[in-house]
Amino acid sequence: MPDIFEFGFMVRALIVGGLVGVVCPILGTFLVLRRLSLIADTLAHVALAGAAIGLMLHQSPLLVALPVSAAASLLLEWLRSSQRLSGDASLALVLYSALAVAVIVLSLSVGLGAGVLGYLFGNIVTATRVDVWAIAVLSLGALLLVGLLYTELVQSTFDPVLARVSGVPVGRVNLVLALLTSVTVTLSMRVVGALLVGALIVFPTLAALQAGRGFRLTLLIGAFLGALSVLVGLTVSFYQDIAPGGAIVLTAIAILAAATLGRRAVVYVGARTATASRSKPSTPSAGGGALSRGG
Amino acid sequence: MSVARESAPPALTFDDVSYAYGLTPAVDHVSFSVERGEFVALIGPNGSGKTTLIKLALGLERPQSGRVLLLGQAVERFTQWRRVGYVPQFVNAFSVRFPATVSEVVSHGLYRGLDPLALFRRSLSPGVERGLEQAGISELRNRLVSELSGGQQRRVLIARALVSGAELLVLDEPTTGLDQPGQEQLYALLRRLRGERGITILLVTHDLGVVLHEASRVACVNQRLFAYVPTQELTPSDLSKTYGTTVDLVVHQHE
């Protein structure tokens, strides 16, 4: 059996994939809690159209996809905040417009199909040096920006009106989050593909939320589970010779299932313990158990 | 009971304020001032413009005519948000499994602007501890807000509003969904805050019983301001004009 680390392309894939795996759930936490999970799917299709245009123009697909998806994210934020369209209608508008552009670009250009498939289904092992550097720099930049705007992002996610009354510049924070999402989605498209990028944003986040911890810890757990999903998925895909994107997302689903079952088990055991405590009134800690459980 | 600060400008002033959603008027030439230390109840039927007035007071909407002064300053130029506490009727986070502890949420009330190190700061500062104590929820500090009862969640929002030393507390129907003991606890907390800190309270409510027993003044609105009077001077006629129907007012004296 070959050693995965003997291959430079796999080492690059693991590093870049791990970075994307960390960034996706961190952004995903804010998106899921704002009920904007499907924005990732929409922006991924926009990024796919951008990548197709890049391939047609013989430019770096990733570097063309980035400004295209950034512009779409700003359009979505404007439609949402100005309430010109309902949230799902604006997502549908942008998604199908982008798909139409992608289809037309593909029909105009002969021989683009194979290249576009790499972005549709993801293929990190074919990442170029430009891709690797772009993903590394932009992932670290996104993490830095989330760190700098941590309170603003959390407060405007908790409740935008309450945040505005506290003096948080919610409009500008939302624009930054939209741009960060477009960048993250575009980078992730190279790893898991446009069709599955939403899964890498949402599944580790949902798994982390099962832990029932505070916001910082939820972000950390999500980042760990996202990176774990990518690293395990890539390793499995290498040894089993299966599509990396699918392997990564199936790993994330397995982790989510384990986290959900784990939480249910904890709740069940907690309820059984509380019932047992109540049936023994002489137990001194019986009254305080419920209050301290979440601490 | 109220601690009026004679030299200070009113906590809130509506000066001939009007606002419409499209062609539908919501607030029509409303003028009144909430003096420091008062407990003003804002009442009126559904769709009467109460929540719009709150939005105008907090600068969330701009009046189409007239002006709003918050703690003596034009609201559109107001920046000292730490002096104002707001408890909304509905909070986005309570409808999702928001992963924040009580102390994290209360610490949001201490927001002072961009802080690059905020990610690394502890939520449980002495100021947050004081806010938790004032709201009577110290024992909940490490619980997730999404796991609390409705009454406890309202107390968290009040602690969040108080933690920065707010002088004006604005509450939009804070007892919605609370049972009777929960409502009584909430009003006991407001009474204590007003007595101990002289805090000014503007409360939107549908509960006339609460208005009569807790508020010092009542503003009756239905697009227009029909009455703005001390509670003991409120008449059935004021309520009838506001609600557009006959209202009997029976005040029970509690021992």
pLDDT digits (tens, 9 = 90+) for A15-29: 888 999 999 999 999
pLDDT at A281 (0 to 100): 58
Q: Cβ contacts (< 8 Å) between B91 and chain A: which residues?
A: 158-159, 162
**Is the minimum CB–CB distance between A168 and chain B shorter than 8 Å?**
yes
- Evaluate whether B85 touches B189 at the Cβ level (below 8 Å): no
Give the pLDDT mean for A3-12.
Answer: 82
At A294 the three-state DSSP class reads coil
Q: State residue B2's pLDDT score.
A: 45
> Three-state SS for B29?
strand
CA-nearest residue to A288 within chain B is B139
The better pLDDT of the pair A287, A259 is held by A259
Q: What are phi and psi of A84, to 5 degrees?
A: -75, -30
**Least confident range of A276-290, B8-22, B93-107:** A276-290
pLDDT at A285: 42
User: What CA–CA distance (Å, rounded) separates B154 from B178?
Assistant: 9
- For residue B56, pLDDT over 70 is answered with yes
> Nearest by CB to A294, which of B114, B123, B147?
B147
Q: What is the pLDDT of residues A152-204, one digit of tens each?
A: 999 999 999 999 999 999 999 999 999 999 999 998 887 788 888 889 999 99
Of B94 and A50, which is predicted with more confidence?
Answer: A50
- pTM over 0.90? The answer is no
How far apart, in whole angstroms, are the C-alpha atoms of residue A103 and residue A120?
A: 12
First to last CA, chain B: 19
What pLDDT was estimated at residue B93? 85
Q: Does residue A249 have a pLDDT over 50?
A: yes
Q: Which of A149, A162, A209, A219 to mutate to test the interface with B (most CBs of B within 10 A)?
A: A162
pLDDT value, residue B228? 94
> Nearest residue on chain B to A164, judged by CA atoms?
B60
Q: How many CB atoms lie within 10 A of CB A172?
A: 12
pLDDT digits 0-9 by tens, B166-208: 899 999 988 877 778 878 888 888 888 888 888 999 999 888 8
Type of residue found at A143: L
Q: Which residue of B has its CA nearest to A169?
A: B113
Identify all chain A residues contacting B118, using CB atoms and an 8 Å cutoff. 150-151
Given a contact cutoff of 8 angstroms between Cβ atoms, the answer to whether A44 and A76 are in contact is no
| Beta strand segments in chain A, E | none
Confidence at residue A15, expressed as pLDDT on a 0 to 100 scale:
86
CATH number of this structure's domain A3-194, picked from the four choices 1.10.10.60, 1.20.1440.120, 1.10.3470.10, 3.30.70.3040: 1.10.3470.10
pLDDT for the residue numbered B4: 47
Residue of B62, B80, B119 best to disrupt the A interface, most CBs of A under 10 A: B119
Interchain pair B118, A159: CB under 8 A? no
Q: Which residues of B are less than 8 Å from A148 in CB distance? A: 114, 116
CB contacts, 8 Å: A159 with chain B: 88, 91-93
Tell me what ipTM this predicted complex has. 0.84
| Chain A residues whose beta carbon lies within 8 Å of the beta carbon of residue B202 | none
Supply the pLDDT for residue A290: 35
Judge whether B219 and B41 are in contact, CB under 8 Å: yes
Residue A257 distance to chain B (closest CA, Å): 17
Residue A227 CB burial class (10 angstroms; 0-12, 13-18, ≥19): buried
Tokens 């995965």, located at residue: A4
Asked whether the beta carbons of A184 and A201 are under 8 A apart, the reply is yes
Closest chain B residue to A291, measured at CA:
B140
- What is residue B253's predicted lDDT score, i.e. its pLDDT? 52
Q: Is the pLDDT of residue B252 over 60?
A: no
Is 90 exceeded by the pLDDT of residue B162?
no
Q: How many CB pairs under 8 A join A and B?
A: 102
| A144 vs B: CB within 8 A | no
Count of alpha carbons within 13 angstroms of residue A87, beta-carbon side: 7
Summarised one tens digit per residue, pLDDT across range B95-119 is: 788 999 999 999 999 888 888 888 8
Cβ-contact B36, B198 below 8 angstroms: yes
Residue A294 has its nearest CB partner, among B79, B96, B143, at B143
Whether the pLDDT of residue A295 is over 50: the answer is no
Nearest Cα of chain B lies from the Cα of A42 at a distance, in angstroms, of 22
Range among A174-188, A260-274, B4-18 rated most confident: A174-188
Higher pLDDT, A225 or B154: A225
Query: Mean pLDDT across the stretch B142-149?
Result: 90
Do residues B100 and B52 lie in contact, with contact meaning Cβ atoms separated by under 8 Å? no
CB burial of residue A205 (10 Å; 0-12, 13-18, 19+): buried
Give me chain B's average pLDDT, please: 86
Q: Which residues of B touch A151 (CB under 8 A)?
A: 108, 111, 115, 118-119
Lowest mean pLDDT of A253-257, B13-17, B116-120, B191-195, name the range.
B116-120
A44-102 tens-digit pLDDT: 999 999 988 988 888 888 889 999 999 999 999 898 888 777 778 888 999 999 989 88
- pLDDT digits 0-9 by tens, A93-138: 999 999 898 888 888 877 777 677 778 877 777 777 777 888 889 8
Residues of A whose CB is below 8 A from B82? 167
- Residues B228-246 have a mean pLDDT of 86
